[in-house]
């Protein structure tokens, strides 16, 4: 399986909050999209790992993603180690996405900004021809196990995403560009609400979790804010480190005055 677009995030339900509308929009355009969650959510105040896995698949179905998996990196302890980078390299070489969405590289939660740097460094390493995953517990494709991957060694050939963009909704930073998600907003909100164990109104953790109506108001105001910047109803913000390149000045969107 190969993907056009992969979104990497620290926790299940991160992608639903930062770039779920964009993932859905790309899937509706016919691109193959995927989500890699680094952790399984075992530190969450609410719910269980198994429950969260079910909720994550339901959210993935709503966002029409073709592939979703969670690595086994400890929740609350996402560290940019060699071992963790190789876990991400294996996924990148397997799925070969052209575009990689990472969390923005600064933030309140250490797992989020660490996931950003970890993802970037893994994307770099993944392109190194001489970096072999053999001997790191990832030698699947080199073993004669008889599965499809074993007969397709190119599945783990070096691969570097062409484009890395950063989902910046969690951070007050001026985005490089926006994606209009006016048509996808309701489904994106539904994908977040698929995490019933986290977001349905309940007693456990009610001191730290906002009520569902409050979540709706927050999610909607953020999407509206970025929508206003782009002259549309709802949008999601992204940062790219590169400058933009334009072919046709007549086709640049977003009105100046």
Residues that bind Zn ion (CB under 5 A): 10-11, 14
Which is nearer to Zn ion, 59 or 156 (by Cβ)?
Answer: 59
Rounded to whole angstroms, the Cα distance separating 34 from 47 reads 24
Smallest separation, CB 250 to Zn ion (Å): 40
Strand 235-239 relative to strand 99-103, pairing: unpaired
Smallest separation, CB 241 to Zn ion (Å): 22
Smallest separation, CB 187 to Zn ion (Å): 20
Which is nearer to Zn ion, 42 or 147 (by Cβ)?
Answer: 42
Which is nearer to Zn ion, 44 or 161 (by Cβ)?
Answer: 44
Contact by Cβ (8 Å): 74, 88: no
Smallest separation, CB 109 to Zn ion (Å): 6
Smallest separation, CB 19 to Zn ion (Å): 13
Residue number closest to Zn ion, CB atom: 11
Which is nearer to Zn ion, 8 or 10 (by Cβ)?
Answer: 10
Rounded to whole angstroms, the Cα distance separating 68 from 60 reads 7
Which is nearer to Zn ion, 110 or 231 (by Cβ)?
Answer: 110
Smallest separation, CB 14 to Zn ion (Å): 4
Which is nearer to Zn ion, 11 or 87 (by Cβ)?
Answer: 11
């Amino acid at each position: 399986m190969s993907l056009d677009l992969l979104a990497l995030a620290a926790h299940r339900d991160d992608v639903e909050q930062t770039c779920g509308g964009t993932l859905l929009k790309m899937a509706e355009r016919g691109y193959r999209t995927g989500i890699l969650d680094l952790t399984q959510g075992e530190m969450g105040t609410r719910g269980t790992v198994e429950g969260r896995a079910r909720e994550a698949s339901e959210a993935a179905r709503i966002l029409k993603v073709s592939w979703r998996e969670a690595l086994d990196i400890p929740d609350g302890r996402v560290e940019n180690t060699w071992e963790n980078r190789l876990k991400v390299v294996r996924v990148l070489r397997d799925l070969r996405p052209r575009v990689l969405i990472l969390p923005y590289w600064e933030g309140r939660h250490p797992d989020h900004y660490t996931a950003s740097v970890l993802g970037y460094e893994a994307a770099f390493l993944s392109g190194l021809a001489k970096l072999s995953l053999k001997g790191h517990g990832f030698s699947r494709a080199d073993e004669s196990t008889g599965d499809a991957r074993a007969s397709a060694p190119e599945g783990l050939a070096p691969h570097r995403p062409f484009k890395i963009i950063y989902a910046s909704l969690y951070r007050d930073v001026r985005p490089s560009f926006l994606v209009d998600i006016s048509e996808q907003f309701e489904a994106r909100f539904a994908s977040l609400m698929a995490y019933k164990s986290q977001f349905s109104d309940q007693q456990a953790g009610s001191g730290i979790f906002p009520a569902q109506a409050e979540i709706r108001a927050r999610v909607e105001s953020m999407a509206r804010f970025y929508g206003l910047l782009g002259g549309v109803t709802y949008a999601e913000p992204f940062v790219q480190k590169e400058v933009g390149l334009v072919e046709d000045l007549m086709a640049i969107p977003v009105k100046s005055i």
